[in-house]
Homo-oligomer: A and B are copies of this chain.
Amino acid sequence: MSTVPLVDEDCDHPIVRRVFADIKATKNIDRVPNIWRALATHPEHLELCWTRLKAIMSPGKVDALTKEIIALAVSVTNGCRYCINSHTAAVQKLGLSLEALGEVLAVVGLYNQMNRLADAYQVEPDILPRPW
């Protein structure tokens, strides 16, 4: 159960109303996801979060599916239940097959292991040509 009351979808606070409408239009959905209804308890923060997310997640040099895959990889590494559920749904909506999801998660699992081994042995970075 959420720690704050979720703001109603019909809330008439002007910022909330505007952001909720933009979320539904941008994502082409007819319900406002729960995270935004919780954030709406602080309308200015809701707007900061949404406008920034919208800017960062719009396709640029990196396409939308890759961005959602990154979001899933981060959410799994942090063990965030809500986010794992929503980003798994999002990558599927963008066309990732069950088999490809298996590959994505295999990579996520692998580097959670390798990260800890590199830390465990306190390995110094290799001397590499600096990228850029």
Q: Residues of A with Cβ closer than 8 Å to B? A: 1-5, 31, 33-35, 38-39, 41-42, 44-45, 48-49, 52-53, 55-57, 60-62, 66-67, 69-71, 73-86, 88-89, 91-93, 97-126, 128-132
Verify A108–B4 contact, CB threshold 8 A: no
Q: Which residue of B lies closest to A76 (CB)?
A: B120
Question: Which residue of B41, B98, B102, B107 is within 8 Å of A70 (Cβ)?
Answer: B107
Task: Report if A101-B4 is in contact (Cβ < 8 Å); known contacts: A108-B116, A113-B109.
Answer: yes
Q: Which B residues touch A71, using CB under 8 A? A: 107, 110-111
Verify B128–A86 contact, CB threshold 8 A: yes
Verify B120–A84 contact, CB threshold 8 A: yes
